[in-house]
Amino acid sequence: MTTDTETDVFEEHRPVLMGVAYRILGRVADAEDVVQEAWLRWSGADREAVREPRAYLVRVTTRLAIDRLRQVKARNEAYVGPWLPEPYLTDFGDDVPDTAERAVLADSVSLAVLVVLESLSPLERAVFVLREAFGHPYADIAAMLDRGEAAVRQLAGRARKHVDERRPRYEVDPARRRELTEQFLAAAGGGDLEGLMALLAPDVRLVGDSGGKSRAPLRVLETSDKVGRFLIGAAQKGVPDVSFEFMELNGGIAVVVLSAGKPDSVFQVDIYEGRIQAVYIMRNPDKLLSLVAP
């Protein structure tokens, strides 16, 4: 039988476990399932054999997430259109007071990074997350994964090189990102193509994820002309009883488009040198469920 103290210990570490699981999986529902399974393992564990609860729980969660990711990758082969991770509400609160640490955690859940992580193997992704986002020593990661330390270092190096080569360069200044997001929303919503084009980089990319369940581009759009005209056209079609809410998702400001108070889509932009370099649109209703208030 699980005691109140054991429950309190698990709840203390739940945010970290959710953070690990989401970064490995990029899916809120799957991450929540993994954390729930970790709870079941914890409730049945031999307490005398668990010297460090946090290390034990991170190890269990990581292994469960790797197994789940292998299953998910097989499902994704039939996914319709571009894939984006589920929107993830990020509020690091007072638990992460250091600005540099906050920046690392925010970057590790950014859409740009998570999209790149999709191309890693499950083991590479887990090692990258544990090392780069949470700063675990190589020896600890090796113990978690039942691998030699040399092998883990090799996995980490390969993953780091892959991410560095493919991750676009973006600015993360929150104030500037908020400002450009507001200007972007005003220009698109007001049908101001000229104003919108002034915000977009010439080689801007638009990635829309609908999973084939709502209207969104079934391929990545490129160039400011194509992206601008698409956004103006989409805004003109409108959303019934529309309203907007700004939220911090995946480490940055995002616009949640509501229809009659329910999430219809999520817009987020990445910027570099004062221009919008990427536009992400989430319209898969299944991936918006985590934004619905219980």
- Which pLDDT tens digits describe the chain residue by residue (294 residues)? 556 677 888 999 999 999 999 999 999 999 999 999 999 999 888 877 788 999 999 999 999 999 999 988 776 667 889 999 999 998 655 555 456 666 777 788 899 999 999 999 999 999 999 999 999 999 999 999 999 999 999 999 999 999 999 988 787 688 888 999 999 999 999 999 999 999 999 999 999 999 999 989 999 999 999 999 999 999 888 889 999 999 999 989 999 999 999 999 999 999 998 999 999 999 999 999 888 765
For residues 192 and 80, membership in a common domain is answered with: no
* AA letter at 67: D
Please name the residue ranges forming H helices in the chain.
4-25, 28-43, 53-76, 99-108, 111-117, 122-128, 138-145, 149-166, 174-189, 193-199, 224-237
Q: What is the DSSP letter of 133?
A: I
Residues 176/178/182/188 CA torsion (nearest 10 deg): 80
For residues 77 and 136, membership in a common domain is answered with: yes
For residues 122 and 208, membership in a common domain is answered with: no
pLDDT of residue 72: 82
For residues 259 and 162, membership in a common domain is answered with: no
For residues 17 and 110, membership in a common domain is answered with: yes
For residues 8 and 104, membership in a common domain is answered with: yes
Nearest Cα neighbor of 185 from 237, 109, 246 is: 246
Tell which of 166, 201, 223 closes a domain. Answer: 166
Q: What is the DSSP letter of 131?
A: I
Distances (CA, A) of 38 to 8, 35, 49, 130, 151: 14, 5, 16, 17, 26
Cα–Cα distance, 115 to 91 (Å, whole number): 21
For residues 156 and 183, membership in a common domain is answered with: no
| Domain of 231, in residue numbers | 174-291
For residues 160 and 250, membership in a common domain is answered with: no
The pTM score is 0.88
Beta bridge partners of 262: 259
pLDDT digits (tens, 9 = 90+) for 61-82: 999 999 999 988 776 667 889 9
Q: Under a CB-based contact definition with an 8 Å cutoff, are residues 43 and 54 in contact?
A: no
CATH number at residue 207: 3.10.450.50
For residues 142 and 232, membership in a common domain is answered with: no
CATH number at residue 33: 1.20.140
Question: Number of structural domains, the chain?
Answer: 2
Q: If DSSP codes are grouped into helix, strand and coil, which group holds residue 174?
A: helix
Tell which of 114, 141, 166 closes a domain. Answer: 166
What is the CB-side half-sphere exposure of residue 41 using CA atoms within 13 A? 17
For residues 232 and 162, membership in a common domain is answered with: no
For residues 155 and 197, membership in a common domain is answered with: no
For residues 83 and 40, membership in a common domain is answered with: yes
Tell which of 138, 166, 194 closes a domain. Answer: 166
